[in-house]
Structure 1
Amino acid sequence: MSPLEIKRLEKNIRIEHVWSSAAIEGNTLSENETAAIIDSGIGATIHGKTIKETLEILDLNRIATLETSQPKSEAGAYRTIEVYPYGSNKRPYALPFEIPEKMQQLQNWSDQARINLHPVQYATDLHQKFVTIHPFRDGNSRTARLLMNLVLTENGYPVINVNPSKNARDKYMQALASAESPENNSQPFRDLIADYVEKELNNRIDILHLNEKYTKEAEESFKDSKINWDKLEQDARAKLKAQKSTSNLKAKD
């Protein structure tokens, strides 16, 4: 693909990631509205949307593009309150006093997992383990998806975006809940993310095949066009030559 096509594709992927990741958390901005905010910044006017939703998009975009650090308020600071998994009010995530140790354990696990596990499983398990700790007050799931995609892209895989539709979101949350349960059944979540990766790889292959097809058709069309132009040029020269010969004969007469 041409550099311009790659740049446009990367921009579309970034917008889709920011939109889908925010939408999963309940943000109601559409993908087009998200694109408008990313392109125009805070100056974009989105009627009927809260300033909080706009700022969420901007913050996530900044993190996703590595242009700035996280927001200054509470971002990056470990939480000091208990929080609970989706659909549960009995079993909290890691207790506040456990967070530093569990984050260190996660780092130690990561150092080994990046070597020993398949990249897709490593990315998936990193997402799940980070969410299970839930170290921050807000943005844990979005951060987990960014970590997952960082691992994927570092290993040559495309960015994946979890579908934010209700059915897809429910499957995503249920698979995470299964991994966070006392049974610690991580396989449904691994299968879910692997399906997203496979689908995105197939999409990329389709794009490349389509690009190859269109490029070949354009080349063939150019060849045909060139032949036609050459023929027209030859015909024009022949007519001009004939006209000159006629003029010379008339002049002699």
Structure 2
Amino acid sequence: MSVALVGAGPGDPGLITVRGLELLRACDVLVYDRLVAAELVAEAPASALRIARDRLEQEEVNALLVAHGRRGRRVVRLKGGDPFLFGRGGEEALALAGAGVPFEIVPGVSSLTAAPAAAGIPVTHRGSASAVTAFAAHDVEALDAAALARVPGTLVAFMGLARLARLVERLVTAGKPASTPSAVVAAATTDRQRVVSAPLGALPAAARGLPTPALVVIGEVASFRAELGAMRRSAA
């Protein structure tokens, strides 16, 4: 494959897949996101062209992948988490397909499950949650808060820390009980990981000062952190 869209995992460089690391170590060109661990960027060959995506528009990234792919170079597009979950991997895959450039998709360990797990929170649990709803919360006003408030099971909000107070306000106003167990997991699986737990109504105050990236978990499963989070710390 000339281009590989590779998921780097949730933060800890050790959580990249075997296939992802294999491709990374053999690439000619590496295009990587800001959230990718420096240890993974260093795994690319010394001769590889390294391109940080941060200052580029998505259309520029698409064009880079197509251009290098057409030249027959082994290109790795390294993204945090999984490329197809809030990673714009679909847009890049469509650009490559439209240009006739061969590509491979290498799924990554998603923070959807990994971040809560690292905090001792199972996103599903028999008797507590049989469904998980993930949503992007950077545009809180555009959310269907009433629909989210009615969803059974676990809610997981990506990119919601900056507008957490407004997110909580909208959910509670729409009928989600303020007493719902909740948590924020910041910088999950890294040595900067921080976790706070609180009833939904008190979560914004509890989460002040947390670093990004952060995931918001809302639902009965968040209450398991009290026991499982402590067990994880003891084991470590």
TM-score range, shorter chain: under 0.3
If you compute each CA radius of gyration, which structure gives the higher value, 1 or 2?
Answer: 1
TM-score, structure 1 normalization: 0.25
Greater RCO (Cα-Cα under 8 Å, separation 6 or more)? 2
> Greater helix share, 1 or 2?
1
> Greater strand share, 1 or 2?
2
